[in-house]
Amino acid sequence: MLDVGTFDGFYAFLAERRGAARVVAVDNEQYVAWVRARWGVELEGGEGFRAIAELLDSRVAYVRGDAMGLVATGERFDVVVCFGILHRVENPLGLLRGLAGVLAPGGRMLVETLGVAGDGRIEVYEPGEVYRRDDYVYWGFGAEGLSALAAHAGFARVTIDATPTIDGHPRILATLERPGD
Ligand SMILES: C[S@@+](CC[C@H](N)C(=O)[O-])C[C@H]1O[C@@H](n2cnc3c(N)ncnc32)[C@H](O)[C@@H]1O
């Protein structure tokens, strides 16, 4: 299992606890910048993950770097979790395409990201428009927009699982399936 944009590793540690044979967690630590801007808290990067890993005696492998860096390693995963990050990358189509490439044939990727109000396609935001002083939120995805993007990226099937509103913000959850061989 691969956890993309793991932050403190919540989903990676959960997957390990639930029996995933190998878990890799990747994060470029972009959050250091927006945690400083939003809350004035200075983080070094990775300290939350390391503290929890130690408490849990975890074997989750932490990779500090851009998610796209994993594409070149050749490792393949049957499940990829991509939560809270798609709206924070400059090239969401490139990220989806790259992650489709790290999935084993027939594998699934679970996506959770910022949505849009109603049935829109994809919206573009100004710096700080969604979260005050957070310049790293670029996009909101409607069901149609996310499905179209996933099709461009090579996914065979997209299921929109839910479109809840969390803390006043629309979110979208979907399952993207890679074609089998
Ligand atoms: C809002 S947090 C989501 C954390 C966690 N996945 C969750 O849903 O609770 C987004 C995370 O993605 C990371 N991130 C953003 N762009 C990234 C990239 N290109 N490659 C790897 N990680 C990235 C950020 O540093 C941050 O830790």
Distance between Cα 86 and ligand 1 center (Å): 8
| Angstrom distance (rounded) from CA 103 to CA 157 | 14
CATH of 76-181 given 3.40.50.2000, 3.40.50.150, 3.40.50.1980, 3.30.420.10:
3.40.50.150
Residue 30 alpha carbon, nearest atom of ligand 1: 25
Q: Which two tokens stand for residue 90?
A: 């400059």
Distance between Cα 181 and ligand 1 center (Å): 30
| Angstrom distance (rounded) from CA 24 to CA 60 | 6
> Domain map of the chain by residue range?
1-65, 76-181
pLDDT tens for each residue of the chain, 181 residues long? 999 999 999 999 999 999 999 999 999 999 999 899 999 999 999 999 999 999 999 999 999 999 999 888 999 999 999 999 999 999 999 999 999 999 999 999 999 999 999 878 999 999 999 999 999 999 999 999 999 999 999 999 999 999 999 999 999 999 999 988 7
